[in-house]
Amino acid sequence: MRLDLALQLLQQAGAMLPDAEPYSEAWLQGILDALCDLSSKDALTGLVNRRSFEMALGREVDRVARSGEPALLLVLDIDHFKAVNDTHGHAAGDQVIRAVAGAISQTVRPMDTVARVGGEEFAIILPNCPTSVGVVVAERIRQRVEAMAISVATGVDALRCTISIGGAFAPQWVRSSTLIWTERADRQLYRAKAEGRNRACLESHVDSLVSAEEKGMLFAVTQQDSE
């Protein structure tokens, strides 16, 4: 990429340029680091973006298959978010998204991956997360968002919002796929919405057992190893 185009891209994104002598080695390295950061993070919230999230999810699927450690995927959606945009405008909607992103980040561990994967949609990968811990974390996130008073503009009452959460645990010691894991979490999110929103629904241990498709994947891998 030409340097002038790179600088223009960073400026349009509101990124800070390196605090170093222009065109020095440290300055050029700072530009490269800023571009890498821009490609992996969501511009509005600073969270991991969808592309980086999907890569992290793939790595976690492989890690669980190798280590057998439990892992949880949470998917979150801001309830009735369209009404916020329609009533208060998109700038207020952006404020709500940023506030929810901050609440999530402050509730989970540094080792967890928090991403904005859509307009008002978020996802979290929690490695080494037992079932009992996952339930507690999901509920803490829900409560923290519900308790927020979000200031969006002078003279406008602070807004409040809620989220719906769905969660699924990756089967341990099993070669699964990101698609299967995401679909399981999405089903729980749909259940949370159907049951009235502002709640966390995580699949039970029974639902987390190995699916027929995962058994087929495991059998295929076993066959390849024996050949």
Which residues belong to the active site?
120
Alpha helices by DSSP H, listed for 44-177, are: 50-67, 81-88, 90-107, 131-147
**DSSP one-letter string for 131-164:** HHHHHHHHHHHHHHHHH--B--STTSPPB---EE
Q: At residue 98, what are phi and psi to the nearest 5 degrees?
A: -65, -40
Residue 12 and residue 26: Cα distance in Å, rounded?
A: 22
Structure tokens at 52: 């980086």
Provide the residue type at 44 as one letter. Answer: L
Q: Kindly report the number of other CB atoms within 10 A of residue 11's CB atom.
A: 10
Q: C-alpha angle 125/126/128, rounded to 5°?
A: 140
CA-to-CA distance for 77 and 97, rounded, in angstroms? 10
Tell me the chain's radius of gyration from C-alpha atoms. 20
Query: What are the φ/ψ torsions at residue 206 (nearest 5 degrees)?
Result: -60, -45
How many helices (H) and strands (E) in the chain? 8, 5
